[in-house]
């Protein structure tokens, strides 16, 4: 099925100006159908445009818009680069805090872990299996069996629900029968940490703010023993790349529960973990404010670009050559 239309442009119309005119079309007005929205060629061919008869004026308008939209696009690119720098800054704040602490005068020692390097002298190093009361996974009830999904009342977390943030809801739910029939489906408590073990989302993390079950692609670390759960979440964010690197056995990386259980991590005293969490949240909140302002500016620039094109091609802004 064809999904595109093309047009042969009249020789009296400058092609680039016609392109700008087309960007002002509200295509939603010409859609029909509900299952697969489409547009009819006849409807599109009847869209009216007001256009100068002078080819020189058309060319001047297009050249003006080329110049102005390029300037706006350059600004948008710069702002998007700035967003990347802000995200890098947040990563650096988290990495520094969870690996070195917040006291620059702390005496250091070799952690014995190559990627980690030195850590404060009073910190310990423990395997994750010693730091959580629960490390487990889940299952996928048979697809197509409505008894397992219809009117489900229990959260069922998939790796696609993980966004490196708090988890406050799941895209799917399962029934009590699914829990009864699949012994590997367990309800994990709030403040558990979840990591995606394989696939496109490998390494993605979440900290539960709801009790939930999970599928087999998730590893859940719950009931922390030596960890503040939020500190553990930030620690795993910082260690994610190392965990993924350790998971390469064949072609594709595949994190296993055993790898996570055996992973050695730094463990500060609980009170210090709480201090580190507060430091991270204050610093990241400051950066998030800058991110929000930059995102708002990008949105305004995009809106300005759209409005400028519309105003110029409709003659509301006069272009002087």
Specify the pLDDT at position 30.
Answer: 74
Which ranges in 124-186 belong to alpha helices (H)? 146-149, 176-181
pLDDT at 250: 61
Place of tokens 């889940």: 138
CB under 8 Å to 151, separation ≥6 — which residues? 175
* Model confidence, pTM: 0.85
CA distance 65 to 166: 44
Q: Three-state DSSP class for 85?
A: helix
Low-confidence stretches of the chain (pLDDT beneath 70) = 1-3, 33-36, 249-251, 320-321
For 9-18, the pLDDT digits (tens) are: 778 888 899 8
Q: 300-313 in b/e burial notation, b at 16+ Cβ within 10 A? A: ebeeebeebbeebb
Q: Which stretch of DSSP H or E encloses residue 144?
A: none
Q: How confident is the model over 34-44, as pLDDT tens digits?
A: 666 777 777 77
Residue 215's nearest CA partner among 148, 151, 260 is 148
Number of other residues whose CB lies within 10 A of the CB of residue 317: 15
Q: Residue 44's pLDDT is what?
A: 74
**Which of 161-198 are b and which e, b meaning 16 or more Cβ less than 10 Å from the residue's Cβ?**
bbeeeebeebeebbbeebbeebeebbebeebbbbbbbb
Indicate the domain borders of the chain.
Answer: 124-267
What sign has the CA pseudo-torsion 52, 53, 59, 60? Answer: negative
| CATH architecture for residues 124-267 | Alpha-Beta Complex (3.90)
Spatial distance between the Cα atoms of 159 and 176, rounded to a whole number of angstroms: 21
Distances from the Cα of 301 to the Cαs of 20, 146, 253, 314, in angstroms?
17, 48, 40, 20
């Amino acid at each position: 099925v064809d999904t595109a239309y093309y047009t042969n442009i009249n020789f009296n119309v400058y092609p680039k100006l016609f392109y700008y005119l087309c960007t002002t079309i509200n295509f939603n007005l010409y859609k029909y159908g509900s299952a697969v929205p489409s547009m009819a060629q006849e409807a599109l061919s009847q869209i009216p445009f007001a256009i100068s008869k002078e080819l020189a004026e058309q060319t001047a308008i297009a050249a003006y818009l080329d110049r102005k939209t390029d300037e706006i696009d350059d600004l948008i690119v710069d702002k998007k680069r700035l967003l990347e720098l802000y995200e890098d800054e947040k990563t650096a704040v988290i990495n520094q805090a969870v690996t070195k602490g917040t006291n620059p005068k702390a005496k250091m020692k070799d952690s014995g872990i190559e990627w980690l390097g030195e850590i404060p002298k009073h910190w310990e190093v423990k395997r994750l299996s010693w730091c959580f009361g629960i490390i487990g996974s889940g299952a996928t009830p048979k697809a197509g069996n409505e008894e397992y999904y219809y009117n489900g009342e229990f959260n069922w977390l998939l790796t696609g629900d993980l966004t490196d943030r708090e988890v406050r809801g799941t895209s799917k739910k399962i029934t009590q029968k699914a829990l009864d029939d699949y012994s590997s489906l367990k309800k994990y408590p709030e403040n558990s940490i979840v990591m995606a073990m394989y696939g496109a989302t490998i390494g993605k993390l979440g900290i539960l703010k709801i009790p939930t079950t999970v599928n087999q692609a998730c590893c859940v670390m719950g009931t922390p023993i030596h960890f503040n759960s939020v500190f553990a979440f930030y620690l795993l964010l910082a260690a994610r790349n190392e965990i993924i690197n350790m998971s390469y056995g064949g072609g594709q990386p595949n994190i296993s529960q055993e790898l996570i259980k055996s992973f050695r991590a730094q463990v500060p005293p609980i009170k210090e973990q709480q201090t580190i969490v507060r430091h991270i949240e204050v610093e990241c909140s400051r950066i998030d404010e800058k991110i929000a302002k930059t995102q708002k500016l990008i949105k305004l620039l995009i809106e300005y670009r759209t409005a400028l094109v519309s105003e110029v091609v409709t003659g509301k802004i006069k272009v002087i050559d």
